[in-house]
Chains A and B, each alone.
Chain A
């Protein structure tokens, strides 16, 4: 049995178009959240991290494609191109393409979109990427609410372990749209201020947009200095409510336990938790309960939502990539926006960016539909 690793990686975001640049910003505690005035998306200004159209188009033009592409396709293509080029992997039938998104090109349903409504099909988004890059295998799209990004990594690992592929390119992205903002607003889940995960003064989420990509591979000769091994992963449904988290954190608790079991690790072996931390009342409280039940109440933990907001189907992959760099730099990044603990159970929130020898981390996510995922990674 071989091991499975995360290797080449990229982040396209308001903090930059390269993982190292983005992580440099985070290590300086610089947030990509800005007060954005965009009446086409929301009537009043709101905090979000959005990618500059101008910069995106400038970088996208270097891809030299003649065909018209949507904003999300441009983000995903720019991100994927970077790691494909760096990895130099030939696209054979042993190489998979996995796309993680919740809403894909949902903006083409808007009245004034210049793209046909058919572009909203997620398989069409997959075909666009497949055709541009020349993948010979059928693209696989994972759409499982806010856990999609972590789930996509675990699906890639399972397919590699099962012998279906040698390498899988995972790319994730979602847009800030009127569709998403009005929906979260109808749930009264949006914050008027930059979000404050786990803080007493938290008042809801910010929505942001990124594209992120990573190579999942079993080939140890294809690794980069920030590579990690995927030791264990699991997802578990709460079987409780479609839009609210379980009060006991059951699904997350089980996901963490199962992932640790598969990794043959105990809670004390985890050096750092990259948690979901959306800064809604219910989510953060649920996580605090689940982590304490799992014996992880003292483990250093952060939410990166204070840097990008919630980037939906990309968040889990984005935050895993930052976790890889966190391990490589032996640095715990501050959980931006946190001041005073505002959940009922103790959590060891990282208040300041600090150096610490790190070997392992746990990534978790939870989302609508009662979904939860957890994955455990170790430095190579």
Chain B
């Protein structure tokens, strides 16, 4: 039988602010990305030094997941929470940085610490490690936020025995622009899980 799904919570990390559902939790006063992430890290008392080794896409997605899911705790470990993320620029932000490091034969310094982030799904790995999510995971690329596909794919995962919830959404970093919109698809929740609702939540606040 089909499991009924709702959206139980959603989180935005935008240039100006971080919000959970309708509430703004943190406003960016730092200006640049690095400063913003650092001050948000302190504000939300994240205490996870590995955060600073991550590339920009992973930092962004990780932070959004942290706000949405809260601090990791053991009660979540056995929740079968799939992770389905998407974006437009894949890992191009780090790809460009890595390409820079190998484009000049006289200044050739490929680094494994950079290369590993040249895959978009690494941010799913970071979130999975933090929240101990041994679950279904996949990263998709679309020109723009694609609510219809994400809804269909999340629902199809919920039909399987090993998925009860889906951490789903969009996390994109491309040169000067960046945004994350993550939401949790659960059996219970205050928001309906359909395309118009997703379009609306993505566009607010």
Residues in chain A within 8 A of chain B (CB atoms): 102-104, 106, 109-111, 120-123, 126-127, 138, 140-145, 151, 155, 158-159, 161-162, 164, 178-179, 182-183, 185-187, 234-243, 250-251, 254, 258, 261-262, 368-371
Write the nearest CB–CB distance from A251 to chain B, whole angstroms.
6
Does B125 lie within 8 Å of A185, measured CB to CB? Answer: no
Partner of A238, one of B115, B134, B149, B157: B134
- Give 7 CB contacts A-B under 8 Å: A109-B99, A162-B152, A179-B118, A182-B108, A251-B134, A258-B161, A262-B161
Does A368 lie within 8 Å of B137, measured CB to CB? Answer: no
Q: CB-CB < 8 A to A141: which residues of B? A: 140-142
B160 interface residue (CB < 8 Å to A): yes
CA of A187 to CA of B110 in the docked complex: distance in angstroms?
10
On whether A109 and B96 interact (CB within 8 A), knowing A183-B110, A235-B137, the answer reads yes
Q: CB-CB < 8 A to A142: which residues of B? A: 138-141
Query: A103-B118, A239-B133, A240-B129 known; 8 other A-B pairs, CB under 8 Å?
Result: A123-B143, A138-B149, A162-B159, A182-B110, A183-B112, A237-B137, A242-B116, A250-B134
Q: CB-CB < 8 A to A155: which residues of B? A: 138, 153
Residues in chain B within 8 A of chain A (CB atoms): 83, 88-90, 92, 95-96, 98-99, 102-103, 108, 110-112, 115-116, 118-122, 124-126, 128-129, 131-143, 146, 149, 152-153, 155-157, 159-162
Does A161 lie within 8 Å of B125, measured CB to CB? Answer: no
Write the nearest CB–CB distance from B175 to chain A, whole angstroms.
11
CA of A102 to CA of B117 in the docked complex: distance in angstroms?
12
Does A186 lie within 8 Å of B121, measured CB to CB? Answer: no
Write the nearest CB–CB distance from B122 to chain A, whole angstroms.
5
CA of A369 to CA of B128 in the docked complex: distance in angstroms?
9
Does B95 lie within 8 Å of A106, measured CB to CB? Answer: yes
CA of A236 to CA of B146 in the docked complex: distance in angstroms?
24
Q: CB-CB < 8 A to B103: which residues of A? A: 110-111
CA of A66 to CA of B103 in the docked complex: distance in angstroms?
31
Partner of A371, one of B125, B155, B156: B125
Does A368 lie within 8 Å of B125, measured CB to CB? Answer: yes
Does A234 lie within 8 Å of B156, measured CB to CB? Answer: no
Partner of B112, one of A123, A159, A243: A243
Q: CB-CB < 8 A to B120: which residues of A? A: 143-144
Q: CB-CB < 8 A to A371: which residues of B? A: 121, 124-125, 137
On whether A179 and B139 interact (CB within 8 A), knowing A138-B146, A161-B159, the answer reads no
CA of A126 to CA of B90 in the docked complex: distance in angstroms?
13
Does A143 lie within 8 Å of B135, measured CB to CB? Answer: no
Partner of A243, one of B88, B90, B116: B116
Write the nearest CB–CB distance from A312 to chain B, whole angstroms.
10
Partner of A237, one of B96, B125, B160: B125
CA of A302 to CA of B74 in the docked complex: distance in angstroms?
38
Write the nearest CB–CB distance from A356 to chain B, whole angstroms.
31
Does A122 lie within 8 Å of B141, measured CB to CB? Answer: yes
CA of A104 to CA of B91 in the docked complex: distance in angstroms?
11
CA of A127 to CA of B141 in the docked complex: distance in angstroms?
12
On whether A368 and B122 interact (CB within 8 A), knowing A159-B156, A164-B152, A258-B162, the answer reads yes
Write the nearest CB–CB distance from A243 to chain B, whole angstroms.
5
Does B115 lie within 8 Å of A144, measured CB to CB? Answer: no
Does B92 lie within 8 Å of A186, measured CB to CB? Answer: no
Does A127 lie within 8 Å of B143, measured CB to CB? Answer: yes
Q: CB-CB < 8 A to A182: which residues of B? A: 102, 108, 110, 115
Q: CB-CB < 8 A to A262: which residues of B? A: 160-161
CA of A185 to CA of B120 in the docked complex: distance in angstroms?
20
Chain A residue nearest to B162 in the complex (CB): A258
Question: Which of B83, B92, B159, B162 is the most central at the interface, judged by chain A CB atoms within 10 Å of its CB?
Answer: B162
Partner of A235, one of B138, B141, B155: B138
Does A123 lie within 8 Å of B133, measured CB to CB? Answer: no
On whether A236 and B136 interact (CB within 8 A), knowing A121-B88, A155-B153, A183-B118, the answer reads yes
Does A178 lie within 8 Å of B124, measured CB to CB? Answer: no
Q: CB-CB < 8 A to B112: which residues of A? A: 183, 186-187, 243
Q: CB-CB < 8 A to B138: which residues of A? A: 142, 144, 151, 155, 235
Question: Which of A159, A161, A261, A368 is the most central at the interface, judged by chain B CB atoms within 10 Å of its CB?
Answer: A368
Q: CB-CB < 8 A to B119: which residues of A? A: 102, 143-145, 368-369
Chain B residue nearest to A152 in the complex (CB): B138
Q: CB-CB < 8 A to A145: which residues of B? A: 119, 121-122
Q: CB-CB < 8 A to A236: which residues of B? A: 134-137, 162
Write the nearest CB–CB distance from B186 to chain A, whole angstroms.
19
On whether A158 and B157 interact (CB within 8 A), knowing A102-B119, A123-B141, the answer reads yes
Partner of B92, one of A121, A164, A250: A121
Write the nearest CB–CB distance from A154 to chain B, whole angstroms.
9
Does A179 lie within 8 Å of B140, measured CB to CB? Answer: no
Does A179 lie within 8 Å of B134, measured CB to CB? Answer: no
Chain B residue nearest to A185 in the complex (CB): B110
Does A237 lie within 8 Å of B95, measured CB to CB? Answer: no
CA of A145 to CA of B120 in the docked complex: distance in angstroms?
8
CA of A1 to CA of B157 in the docked complex: distance in angstroms?
16
CA of A261 to CA of B161 in the docked complex: distance in angstroms?
9
Does A186 lie within 8 Å of B143, measured CB to CB? Answer: no
Does A123 lie within 8 Å of B142, measured CB to CB? Answer: yes
